Amino acid sequence: MLYKILYLTPSANLLGARRSLLILLENLDKEKYFPIVLCPKKDGELIKALEEKGIRTEILRLRNWRKIRNIRFIPSLIYSLVKLIKKEKINLIHCNEFWVNPYGVISAKITCIPCITHIRTSLDIKKIKNYLLAYSDKLITVSNETRKPIEKFPKIFAKTTTVYNGVDIKDFNPNIKGDYVKKELNIAPEEIVIGTIGQLYPDKGQKTFIQAASIVLKTYPATKFFIVGEAKKERYKTQLQDLVDKLGIKDKVIFTDNRNDIPQILASIDIFALPTLKEGFARVIIEAMACAKPVIATRVGGNSEAVVDKMSGFLIPVNSPDVLAQKIIELIQDEDKRKSMGSIGRERVVNNFSLEHYVKKIEKIYEEFLK
């Protein structure tokens, strides 16, 4: 039997949670599962990528559940969702993020089908209650750290399981070449490159990265710092660029928007840093590790479940540019350590965070409800 699964997503961009969704859908067993993705609008990177992969989409903007101005839209949105579920004979709903969970669980209860919800960030008590997580049939957290706050609700916790994000170890591997990236960005072949990847907003810690860069450059001026990511708000990007100017390191810090060649970007760098202020489970960390790059990350969220401190990289405190700079310098000075940490990281991804592990675990959860 071919089971139809309806995926709900609150956003049409192709970052974080949506990238994870796309990767899952590409690799689901096509003989068992037929995915349909409910997108909020007709344009956007997500819908384009889904259509290119031949994955079916439907358009319905599920407005923010907690905004007072949206209350009047909620009944009609749930009606439209229920109508779609009945028309398509959907067997299961998978909410890709907790934001859309109320729509998922209410529609699932009305149509008597199961609803599974992905939790990709740590939630406070208010969000756990307000987004009706108690009514989901199964919660999937992306790290044990993300799962912890749910312990306060034993009944919800009992139906919660952790499934780490997975990375395609063929697409992300140490043999990929990134020479053209250095050439494109006017980086000399011999220059050490430190990179960070993620949407530009305060929680991603780009300010810490820039402050650390200014410290490192005093000792190692032949070093480049690479910031990859699109701004959530242009004002924040301007603030980052102003900070770079103020520190006098404009010629050493390179900004670039979202890229489709992340494996090659990672191949072009020597050290990967992710000094985030909070995190669920950063896919980009395991992508960097899969490319055998040493990783320096803050000890938040699932970072400590991905990076083994002093083995595959370093874990550092939040908002600590001095410590980040110190660890970068340590790795610049020791090429053998860079290689050793990179190798250990690669092995760890192969054993624990491969795409195959990820997809099998998700499919096993589906099977619990589709017998």
User: What is the four-CA torsion angle of 225, 226, 232, 238, rounded to 10 degrees?
Assistant: 50
Q: What is the mean pLDDT of the chain?
A: 95
The reported pLDDT for the residue numbered 200 is: 94
Say if residues 286 and 306 touch (Cβ distance below 8 Å).
yes
Task: State pTM to two decimals.
Answer: 0.92
Say if residues 359 and 30 touch (Cβ distance below 8 Å).
no
Beta bridge partners of 4: 34
For the ranges 23-27, 122-126, 152-156, 360-364, the lowest mean pLDDT is seen at 122-126
The reported pLDDT for the residue numbered 15 is: 80
The reported pLDDT for the residue numbered 44 is: 84
Same fold, 3-166+355-369 and 179-352: yes
pLDDT tens for 120-136 read 998 999 999 999 999 99
> What average pLDDT does the segment 37-42 reach?
91
Say if residues 38 and 9 touch (Cβ distance below 8 Å).
yes
> What average pLDDT does the segment 283-310 reach?
97
> What average pLDDT does the segment 29-40 reach?
96
CATH fit for domain 179-352, picks 3.40.50.1100, 3.40.50.2000, 3.40.50.1370, 3.40.50.150 = 3.40.50.2000
> What average pLDDT does the segment 286-313 reach?
97
In angstroms, the CA 167 to CA 164 distance is 10
- Phi, psi at 205, each rounded to 5°: 75, 25
pLDDT tens for 145-162 read 999 999 999 999 999 999
Q: Is the pLDDT of residue 166 over 90?
A: yes
From the number of C-beta atoms within 10 Å of its C-beta (0-12, 13-18, 19+), residue 145 rates as buried
pLDDT tier, 65 (very low <50, low <70, confident <90, very high otherwise): confident
Say if residues 40 and 129 touch (Cβ distance below 8 Å).
no
From the number of C-beta atoms within 10 Å of its C-beta (0-12, 13-18, 19+), residue 158 rates as exposed
- Locate tokens 């810090």: which residue? 253
CATH architecture group of domain 3-166+355-369: 3-Layer(aba) Sandwich (3.40)
CB burial of 188-211 (b: ≥16 within 10 Å; e: otherwise) equals eeeebbbbbbbbbbeebbbbbbbb
Q: Is the pLDDT of residue 38 over 90?
A: yes
> What average pLDDT does the segment 346-361 reach?
96
Q: Is the pLDDT of residue 144 over 80?
A: yes
pLDDT tens for 189-210 read 889 999 999 999 999 999 999 9
pLDDT tier, 281 (very low <50, low <70, confident <90, very high otherwise): very high
Question: What is the percentage of the chain residues whose pLDDT exceeds 70?
Answer: 100
Q: Domain segments of the chain: what residues?
A: 3-166+355-369, 179-352
Say if residues 276 and 204 touch (Cβ distance below 8 Å).
yes
The reported pLDDT for the residue numbered 13 is: 83
Beta bridge partners of 298: 316
Q: Is the pLDDT of residue 234 over 80?
A: yes
Residues in Cβ contact with 332 at an 8 Å cutoff, skipping those fewer than 6 apart:
192, 216, 220, 223, 270, 271
As a residue count, the chain comes to 371
pLDDT tens for 318-347 read 999 999 999 999 999 999 999 999 999 999
Beta bridge partners of 316: 298
The reported pLDDT for the residue numbered 11 is: 86
pLDDT tens for 240-269 read 999 999 999 999 999 998 888 999 999 999
